Each structure stands twice: as structure tokens, then as C-alpha cells.
Amino acid sequence: MVRIQREPKEFDGSPLETCCFCGKPTPMWTKIYARKDTDQVACCEECASIYKASEVPTKEEWCLG
């Protein structure tokens, strides 16, 4: 299971990022303690429940798709 949190309020109204696993738009972001806040990636609730934190791509991998 991947820990996630809702994106910060300052992003409300902005286009949603897509989940790093399934590509679905989501307001949820990972909360992996070993990563800085700026290194977290979007992850929907469904994928967070089936994947492990070790499977989450890095920010660089996610951006390069």
C-alpha cells in the first residue's frame, strides 16, 4: 500500500495530474517519507491500495513517462 495525501489547497482549480500507474486524473499525491515533498508523484486511491511504495516511480521517471 502506498501512503497518499490530497494535493495542497493552493492547487485547487488547477488541472489534475495523472496517476503514475494508471494515468487517471487524481488530486491525490504520494506521501513517501523517504522523499522530499517536491519528489512526490500523483497516485490515485485505487492504485495506492494495490501497489507498494517501492514500486512508485521517481519524479524523473514519472515526468519522462
Helix, strand, coil shares, percent, the chain, to 5: 30, 15, 50
Sign of the four-CA dihedral 45, 35, 53, 21: positive
Asked if 52 and 2 count as a contact pair (C-beta separation under 8 A), the reply is: yes
- State percent of the chain over pLDDT 90: 78
Q: How confident is the model over 13-24, as pLDDT tens digits?
A: 789 999 999 999
Domain that holds residue 22: 4-64
Helix (H) or strand (E) holding 48: helix 45-50
pTM of the full structure: 0.90
- What cell numbers appear for 50 in the block? 494495490
What's the domain count of the chain? 1
pLDDT band at 7 (very low <50, low <70, confident <90, very high): confident
